[in-house]
Structure 1
């Protein structure tokens, strides 16, 4: 029996990037290849031991930056995973999940041992990280139904089509454009700007932004809780 328990922090990071075949936006996440035992050579979530002087969120951010160079806009504690048989030594992982915009994701480091994967087509993962990713996806899809979390995957301004594409990519189903527009506009969570996106084959599309007054009123979901 182990004489001590190790506390670790790991993070599931989601971003929308084009599918390599359809080019439609889909969920991706970065993984890190393990270079030492146990599970040497397998892919795993970014993470590591909790620093003795760090709080949990600071440790998650540090590990992310050191391995992927990513700085997420949205970071939220997901769950604690501590089943006794999850690793050879007794390790409890506090798992965070993060959302980053496509432009931020493109700035991340990708090397032989750090690579982005389609969220629905992952390789074999070390430890219980496959179960962790499944839980994170379930949590993201549930929050998509009732919160403004989708805006964390977008830039400061966006069209309603952009916002609908986020919902469709995460929920993995098509949404009626007219119904989606009515639902979004009725909430007041996004507000129209005086700017338009031009240059496409269709007429210019109005750009929207987050309603910051609502965000301030409830502490905002984009800071994570």
Structure 2
């Protein structure tokens, strides 16, 4: 790093920090659920929040996100989909100082129960419908709202739904993911026709499993296609 100019005075500038916050989503108990922690420290001690915290001077954003998730929830790895959701920088979003947060969206199937740590006194999976009705610390309800909206939209035009499924899954299991995330019932026959006719979306494994009454259901795994053409649009 080059030396600072001789007339540069860091104390002349107001304090400024960068944080990372994680919107971790999974499907549990037939509901789309988000990972929330209870803050153990001020500000907002005792209130629900998304896991996250300050980025250290010697780490990049991805490393900070992984560290904060592990420290506050005990989840050391989120297998599945991870992407940057957006950057949030309203001047009054944190009462301590000017703080800009980089939000991450993580989605994976069957994530385990979290174990609280760091500055979180508890951690739990909470149904998204309940979480969005709760008072969350900072501007975390906005972050969660945006994360859920992104997840629902991406299911229309990408193969992201497979991130909520096990490595091998049936069409009914995949449909269940769409129904839970979208919050709507889907016609089974139309759905089966659409997903099996979309090139590269699914790969049939040649194996089957008993999936309720009737003949065994074929098992599939996610194919190489990332963008669905045509998209699986949500019906009114």
* TM class by smaller structure: 0.7 to 0.9
Equivalences for 1:157-168 in 2 at 5 Å? 157-168=168-179
Match of 1:91 in 2: 99
How far does residue 92 in structure 1 lie from its aligned partner after superposition?
A: 0.6
Match of 2:10 in 1: none
How far does residue 107 in structure 1 lie from its aligned partner after superposition?
A: 5.0
Partner Cα separation in structure 2 for residue 110 and residue 131 of structure 1 = 23
> Residues 96 and 199 of structure 1: is their aligned pair in 2 closer, same or farther, counting only changes over 3 Å?
closer
RMSD: 1.8
Partner Cα separation in structure 1 for residue 167 and residue 57 of structure 2 = 36
Equivalences for 1:57-136 in 2 at 5 Å? 57-70=62-75, 71-72=77-78, 73-88=80-95, 89-102=97-110, 105-106=111-112, 108-109=114-115, 113-122=122-131, 123-136=134-147
Match of 1:12 in 2: 23
Q: Does 1:203 align with 2:209?
A: no
Match of 2:37 in 1: 32
With the length of structure 1 as denominator, give the TM-score of the two structures: 0.86
Match of 2:9 in 1: none
Question: What SS does structure 2 have at the residue aligned with 1:121?
Answer: helix
Partner Cα separation in structure 1 for residue 18 and residue 116 of structure 2 = 27
| 8 A contact 2:115–2:122 mirrored in 1 | no
Partner Cα separation in structure 2 for residue 156 and residue 115 of structure 1 = 25
Partner Cα separation in structure 2 for residue 140 and residue 147 of structure 1 = 10
Residues 166-188 of structure 1: per-residue CA shift (max 9 Å, x gap): 11111111111111111111112
**Structure 1 stretch displaced more, 45-54 or 75-84:** 45-54
Equivalences for 1:175-190 in 2 at 5 Å? 175-188=186-199, 189-190=201-202
How far does residue 199 in structure 1 lie from its aligned partner after superposition?
A: 6.6
Residues 18-66 of structure 1: per-residue CA shift (max 9 Å, x gap): 1xxxxxx211111111111111110110001112222211211121122
How far does residue 200 in structure 1 lie from its aligned partner after superposition?
A: 3.5
- Computing the radius of gyration from Cα coordinates, the structure with the larger value is 2
Q: Which has the higher contact order (CA 8 A, sep 6+)?
A: 1
Flag structure 2 segments of 5+ consecutive residues without an equivalent.
1-12, 227-236
Partner Cα separation in structure 1 for residue 63 and residue 214 of structure 2 = 45
